[in-house]
Amino acid sequence: MQDWDIFCSVIDNYGDIGVTWRLARQLADEYGFAVRLWVDDLHSFARIAPGLDAGLPQQSLAGVDIRHWPAGDFPAVDAAAVVIEAFGCPLPERYLAAMLQRARKPVWINLEYLSAEDWVAGCHAMASPHPRLALTKHFFFPGFAGNGGGLLCERTLLARRDAWQADPAAQAQYWQALGVAPRRDGEWLVSVFCYESPAARQWLAAAINAAQPLCLLVPQGKVLPDLAAALGLNTLPQAGEVHECGAVRVHVLPLSDQDGYDRLLWSCDINIVRGEDSFVRAQWAGRPMLWHIYRQQEDAHLVKLEAFLQRYCAGLPERLSRQIHDLHLQWNRDQDITASWQALPQTLAAWQQHAQAWPQIQLADGDLAMRLVQFTEKQLQ
């Protein structure tokens, strides 16, 4: 059995661990690999994996051997045949020494952040010899369609999504369990899992006074201060609370596990998402989405956003393409999206059709795990 070690340093609470946890589970489940996942923050990890005991330094969950990555002395362990450092987190010196002890050096991969930029194709799978040690690291870039390393998607995910979306009884039971009242006439269900921003606050305030009824499903997260301000609340809303104001009713949801979040995305008409993990899962949901990308210095994030939008909107009618561009760029530039949002009913049906077709296009050349396994097998030959 091929063994893998995946290292994750949790930076923004859920994004990095979200990606590595999905990858670890998929490698163990679909390929039968022995996977160790080293994580430096088990408490954040436990919030998206409720079966995890944050107090245990070693445990097994979903077929993955989970280890706490201590801040101090790293334990003496044998290095795996394949080693992944997620998003450039530096490996412990003691583990590097263990890698050198293997008769056949491990395949060492830096799993990079997702980008749709053109330069990714030229850098994907590039080798980088270590400056001191007889080890070589390869850079693996997730990407779109045939460009780069693909996107994380389990083999059965789209079939499970289709079955869920075709089962109104299961959806009704799901909403009832969350305490969400049945949909009102003409109401849009919108999930909101984004960063705090002036654009979010302006949009919420405008939505309250708009004609279009909205039911906002808001998992606990960074947008709650904006939500409180728009609703005129003196304290942050808590999970389980329901607030109604104007055309908007808001349900604050507890942070769920990853499978539960997928069901939320599948069940909504529009999904507002953030970062990388929820961004990719919203694409697999096959529903219109608005991506709140992580802000970077000198507006580098806007370049990445525009690169994605160019791919996502390629071949679309001008009106729909402009609508999608306007919503994304205005939100991520902290501009007022009220006018663009009010125009959305005119293009929503066409956007829904595009969103449904998009996942199959992106998976035509295989998902990230498949491409990663193919790459490592070539290196191990």
DSSP string, 233-297: -SS---TT-EEEETTEEEEEE----HHHHHHHHHH-SEEEEETTHHHHHHHHTTS-EEEEPPP-G
pLDDT given at position 145: 67
Q: Which of 200, 284, 289 is nearest to 250 (CA)?
A: 200
The pTM (predicted TM-score) of the whole model is 0.94
Q: Taking the domains of the chain in order of start, what are their residue ranges?
A: 3-152+365-380, 157-362
Q: What are phi and psi of 215, to 5 degrees?
A: -115, 110
Residue 355's alpha-carbon distances to 266, 314, 315, 324, in angstroms, are 12, 13, 13, 12
pLDDT in tens, 213-271: 999 999 998 999 999 999 999 999 999 999 999 999 999 999 899 999 999 999 999 99
pLDDT given at position 330: 96
Q: What are phi and psi of 36, to 5 degrees?
A: -105, 130
Which residues carry out catalysis? 16, 276
d(CA 302, CA 299): 6
From 3.40.1350, 3.20.20, 3.40.50, 3.30.450, which CATH number describes the 157-362 domain? 3.40.50
Pairing of β 248-253 and β 242-245: antiparallel
Q: What are phi and psi of 350, to 5 degrees?
A: -65, -40
Enumerate residue ranges in the chain where pLDDT < 70.
Answer: 12-13, 145, 147
pLDDT given at position 357: 97
